[in-house]
Chain A
Amino acid sequence: MKSKKGLMVLASLTLIAWTLAAQPVVTGVSMARRAGTRIVDINYTLSGEDAIVTLGITVGGVALPTDKVTAVSGAAGRIVAPGTHSIAWDTAADGVELNTTAAKAALSVWATNDPPPVLVIDMGSGSGSSEYPVTYYAGVEALPYGGLDNYIYRLNLIVMRRIKAGSFKMGVPPGVNVTLTKDFYAGVFEITQRQWAQVTGEPTRSNFLDRETQACRAVEQLSFNSIRGTEAQGGWGWPTNTGVYSESFVGRLRARTGLATLDLPTEAQWEYACRAGTTTVFNDGNAVATLDAPHDLTNQWLHALGRYRFNGGYVNEGATAPGTAVPPAYGTHFAGMYQPNGWGLYDMHGNVYELCLDWWSPTLNVGNGIDPTGPDRGASETITKRGGAYSSTASSCTSAFRINEGTSQANTYVGMRLFMTLP
């Protein structure tokens, strides 16, 4: 009997040892100011397996605000292999003046299959580049250059937020039960004109080209084929496979970042991300909002949530579509200037329709409700799109509204948002 207990203890110890061996472990953390500068060097040793390390600083046991530890370079926020690494923190850039005897470097160690909440792709090296660096952050507050308010996150950088897996009611109430079993990242903003140009080298695809705001406006005139590739190029394999054309927008991003699951969202992922836990008409959770006439056209609750026909999308109080040479007040809107949803995603309502992966089905097709991928393509050549656009009336901009678009169509009201499913 006694030996059985001993075996249990031994088994537990073995299990603990195995668990620790399979996890990244950081030891030997040290910190010191670099002589002659205001840069602080942090060294650490990683063992076990690859990991992502993010930096925090505590003084006297109290953590510095996250937005005061952003000017960080070196082995932080990216996947690093086991070994000894260094991080440099530029306190001058963050405006941090410490004079203490009790500072600590607090390193957060993230497994590569459980990465940090925010991801940024840097496309600053342009359309001819073979590599776009990817950096992870512990939160949007930790983003450098002043955070999301800086337009750089609508220009050369794409910022994405991690969305936790979960269940929700999809579609018009009462809706159908859908469960997403995998976390995913969703773009904080719709892809902008500049972001599209940085990857593809096409500077003027869009309709709205006013000099003042065009670079940060959502890119439009996108087709499914331009995003993933034509059927002949291998871009139509969904849901059988996730392959894309290597020179498509998604294909280039995958190759240059090493992020193999970058893609459009499934329709279920899109609505889950849009709703952010709400069950209401729009994603602000306001139960009073309604589409009863005349609110199906102009809608006071939608005004603050996104660009649509009656808050500047069309001219003449929603009567006339803007042409090519329009003032910046009309058409699409500068990304990320309306109220975000509860998960920090902007412009899920209006601005431009967002293409999904799912082939079109006139009624919701969620299969058994677990990680729906939509119908098989069959003979379909149309794709689902969601969210409404600057040209839409309110009833087309809801969390549940769905419609389709031809794979080669490239209308002035169709764009995209980047997603990435985690393993």
Chain B
Amino acid sequence: MMEKNMKTAAVMMMFTAGLVCADGPWVVSSADVALDTRSKSSLIADTDEEVDARSYTEDLSGFSKIDTRINRGTLIMFM
């Protein structure tokens, strides 16, 4: 019994040390859920609207000499 207690304590101490010295993030997950994110073209009879919330608006009015184009394909590169 005593030996078991010793083992239990040792395991707990190791676990605690692991928590204290943990490097990097903890990962916490949700439960499994059903998810349908198909677009209208592939989702028949679905009336969902597609929303693209990812945009980046630039105000370049103060920088008349600065190139406003951020698409790699429009910039001319010289090596």
Contact = CB atoms under 8 A, between A and B. Distances in A.
Interface string B46-67: 0111111110111100111111
Given A16-B12, A33-B37, A215-B67, A110 B25 contact: yes
Contacts of A70: 54
Majority SS at the chain A contact face: mixed
B39 A16 contact: no
A29 B67 contact: no
A96 B58 CA distance: 26
Contacts of A201: 62
A127 B29 CA distance: 40
B53 A93 contact: yes
A127 B62 CA distance: 10
B26 A108 contact: yes
Interface in A41-92: 42, 44, 54, 56, 58, 70-71, 73, 88, 90-92
A42 to B, nearest CB: 7
B45 interface: no
Band of interface residues on B: 35 or more
A100 interface: yes
Interface stretch (A20-28, A288-296, A315-323): A20-28
Contact of A203 (B32, B52, B63, B77): B63
Contact of A213 (B9, B28, B32, B67): B67
B29 A104 contact: yes
Contact of B78 (A29, A31, A40, A328): A328
Interface of A: 1-2, 5-6, 8-9, 12-13, 15-16, 19-20, 23-24, 26-27, 29-33, 36-40, 42, 44, 54, 56, 58, 70-71, 73, 88, 90-93, 96-110, 114, 116, 124, 126-127, 138, 144-145, 149-152, 155-156, 193-194, 197, 201, 203-204, 209, 211-216, 311-312, 327-329, 334, 337
